Amino acid sequence: MSVAHALRCRDLRKQYGDVVAVDGLSLAVHRGECFGLLGPNGAGKTTTIEILEGLLPPDAGDVEVLGMSWRTNEPELRQRLGVQLQETQLPDKLTVEETVRLFRSFYHQGYAVDELLGMVELEAKRTSWVVKLSGGQKQRLALACALAGKPDVLFLDEPTSGLDPQSRRQLWDLVRRVRDSGGTVLLTTHYMEEAEILCDRVAIVDHGRVIALGTPHELIASLGTVKAVTRHGTLEDVFMGLTGRHLRDE
Amino acid sequence: MSDRPLIQLTLARLREFVREPEALFWAFVFPVVMSVVMAVAFPARGNSPVVIGIAAGAEAAGVRAALAAEPAITVRDVAPGSEQRALREGEVHLIVVPTMPPAYRFDPGRVESRTARLLVDDALKRGAGRTDPWTATEEPQQIPGSRYIDWLIPGLVGLGIMSTSMWGIGFSVAQSRMRKVLKLLVATPMRRRDYLGAQMLARLVFLAPEVAVPVAFGVYVLSMPMRGSVTALVIVSVIGALAFGALGLFVASRARTFEAISGLMNVSMLPMWLLSGVFFSAANFPATVQPVIQALPLTALNDALRAVVLEAVTLRGIQAELWTLMAWGIGSFAVALRIFRWR
């Protein structure tokens, strides 16, 4: 297919009661890039990614995934996307292998179960119950489930929140490998170092809008004109410069 | 092993179930425990002795001797002042005041007390020298299937099918919703009817022991007759389990907390515990509410089970009950699929 954009949305709006979660958000994600939505908790990242995943209908705005729309092409799109949600707890008493085999069964084509276990380095845990896994192992299992159908676009919502630094780095390696093999990745995070290390481009989201967009390098470089940087700048400084607030501690 | 989604989803449900010991207990041990308790609490009719209390009085010794000659009577002394209590608690069925002629104290509203009155009166008059014009020949009959326990077991089987189908599906669905597994599943290409269908298929696999254990216990331990065909019993059970499985899906289709699902399950099952003829016949309720009672799925299931087990009725003879169950099943599944909350 010759569509240049893996994902595109225009003027998305979503409101819960009086709270405007997404307020006129527009994005375009290229094929083969790893794109990050960076922002504090409550910025509207999860709502945005769930709209793009076709799990939430927007109040207004258009969504285009792989050149198709959720309204008319849902079954086909589902075959070509992989989704990892922020709060899912996979069933405790299924084994790792059983869980992966279950998710693999939903896709017409994709990786073999053994391949998936190898990719996320859980072969040694294949007969363990999910409840016995560490946080990092659970996240890798969730990633294996999302990768089961060899997706063209992979959605990751806060894939490393709550993980120790070592598990986080292990997951970054996996995501980078998916991107390097030609897959498009859209992830949300509130860790600036994660966005810096992993993402080709980053959109900084606050109050349901994109307030800055570019490669991590461009965003950090733009700091130079905002304020004098005495040390090596980070995306945290970019967020501070734009909003006057810290990213992490709201 | 087949990698079809319906089969994988069913396997997942079965694995979760067998890895949960409490669920196994409720499904298999509970019906047996219930049957044993009932067998002990309701022994076969006519075997229970008539217990007679003798108050203090001049003729007490003579009365005691006359009653001792009657094997069906057990005599017990009642202390003065505790007579009312002994009668109320059922410790004695009747109290004889040993005067001449004697007085009988009993509650004519109790069947055992009326029986006791006839036996005592007969024994005392015979002891006083009455001669009978003739003595009838007694031909005791044992009619299998006429005991309360025979009637009760099919009802317990029906109750078990309802409870395990509804709780089993309701809790698993509510839990998957709370843990956001449902939300993740609908983000995959999984077909929604496969998920709901797998929940019901998994129930069917465990149906066999759930029905077979209490029925076998009834037949081999409690000598319950099994008059109808096993095929008919299997078909009735399967249709019943599907109907209640679908009802379980419907009840669980929106609930987002354990409190909500427990409340909804109890509200939907309690009326059937009481009205559908599990422990006592549904015929005890007035005619005006009978149409409602007869339309309940558990009434239909219990009637069908009893007809097959106790009266050897064929499937043709219980088609009304089977249609009722299928209507509940199909209706509930269709509504559940429409209103189901996946996130």
Q: CB pairs under 8 A, 24+ apart, for B103-107?
A: B105/B55
**Alpha-carbon distance values, B142 to A21, B39, B151 (Å):** 76, 17, 16
Distance CA B15, CA A244 (A): 53
**CA A64, CA A77: separation in Å to the nearest integer?**
11
Residues contacting B289, CB < 8 A, separation 6+: B275
**Which residues of chain A from 120 to 139 reach within 8 Å of chain B, CB to CB?**
129
- Tell me if chain B has a CB within 8 Å of the CB of A87: yes
| Burial group, residue B343, by CB count within 10 angstroms (0-12, 13-18, 19+) | middle
Taking the C-alpha atoms of B159, B160, B162 and B165 in order, what is their torsion angle to the nearest 10 degrees? 180
The confidence score (pLDDT) of residue A224 equals 60
How high does pLDDT run on average in chain B? 88
Angle, CA A121 vertex, CA A115 and CA A124 arms, to 5°: 95
How far apart CA A240 and CA A63 sit, in angstroms, is 30
Mean pLDDT of A192-221: 90
pLDDT grade, residue A2 (50/70/90)?
Answer: very low
Element (H, E) at A203: strand A201-206
* pTM, entire model: 0.80
ipTM: 0.90
Enter the tokens of residue B41. Answer: 């609490």
Taking only the tens place, the pLDDT of each residue in B220-265 is 888 888 999 999 999 999 999 999 999 999 999 999 998 999 999 9
The structure tokens listed for B82 are 């505790």
Residue count (chain B): 343
Nearest to B342 by CA among B231, B208, B178, B189: B178
- The pLDDT tens digits for A48-95 are 999 999 999 999 999 999 999 999 999 999 999 999 998 889 999 999
Q: Identify the residue with better confidence: B309 or A225.
A: B309
Please state, for a pLDDT cut of 90, what percent of chain B lies above it.
48
A9 close to A27: Cβ distance less than 8 angstroms: yes
- Position B185 scores a pLDDT of 95
Write out A6-36 in H/E/C secondary structure: EEEEEEEEEEECCEEEEEEEEEEEECCCEEE
Find all residues with CB under 8 Å of A170, minimum gap 6, and list them: A121, A136, A140
Tokens 């599907």 correspond to: B242
Quickly count: other Cβ atoms within 10 Å of residue B160's Cβ. Answer: 22
Please tell me the distance in Å from A192's CA to the nearest CA on chain B: 26
pLDDT digits (tens, 9 = 90+) for B39-49: 777 665 555 67
User: Residue B107 and residue A158: Cα distance in Å, rounded?
Assistant: 75
pLDDT above 90 coverage of chain A, percent: 70
Give the gyration radius of chain A's Cα atoms: 18
Q: How confident is the model over B104-117, as pLDDT tens digits? A: 999 888 888 898 99
For the sheet with B50-54, list strands across it.
B73-77, B50-54, B94-97, B103-105
A102 to B20: CB separation less than 8 angstroms, yes or no: no
* Per-residue pLDDT tens over the stretch B114-143: 989 999 998 888 888 888 888 899 887 777
Instruction: Considering only the beta carbons, identify the residue of B12, B20, B183 that sits closest to A98.
Output: B12
Q: How confident is the model over B20-45, as a mean pLDDT? A: 73
Helix axes B148-178, B192-220, angle to 10 degrees: 150
Residues of A in contact with B189 (CB under 8 A): 75, 78-79, 106-108, 149
Q: Are A78 and A155 in contact (CB under 8 A)?
A: no
Asked if pLDDT for residue A228 goes beyond 50, the answer is no
Six-digit token string for A216: 């991590």
Q: Is the Cβ pair A93, B181 closer than 8 Å?
A: no
Two tokens, residue A116: 């998936």
**Chain A CB contacts of B15 below 8 Å:** 93-94, 98
- How many angstroms away from the CA of B307 is the closest CA of chain A? 40
* Cβ pair A146, A156 in contact under 8 A: yes
Least confident range of A202-206, A220-224, B292-296 = A220-224
3-class DSSP assignment, residue B43: coil
B66 falls in which pLDDT band (50, 70, 90)?
Answer: confident
Whether the Cβ atoms of residue A26 and residue A12 lie closer than 8 Å to each other: yes
Residue A2: Cβ-neighbour burial (10 angstroms; 0-12, 13-18, 19+): exposed
Its sign, for the CA torsion A116, A120, A123, A129, is negative
Residues of chain A contacting B11 with CB distance shorter than 8 Å: 98, 102
The owner of tokens 């449902």 is B182
User: Tokens 């669980």, residue?
Assistant: B252
Place of tokens 């009657």: B70
Residue type, B160: G
* HEC string for A76-124: HHHHHEEEECCCCCCCCCCEHHHHHHHHHCCCCCCCCHHHHHHHCCCHH
B293 — phi, psi (to 5°)?
Answer: -60, -40
Q: Is the pLDDT of residue B146 over 80?
A: no
From the list A55, A93, A148, which residue is nearest B19 (CB)? A93
Q: Do A105 and B5 touch (CB under 8 A)?
A: yes
Instruction: Please judge whether B188 and A78 are an interchain contact, meaning their C-beta atoms are less than 8 angstroms apart.
Output: yes
Using N-to-C axis directions, what is the helix angle for B230-251 and B297-311, rounded to 10°?
Answer: 170
- Tell me whether B173 touches chain A (CB under 8 Å): no
Q: Which two tokens stand for residue A36?
A: 């990050």
* CA atoms of B209 and B235, how far apart (whole Å): 14
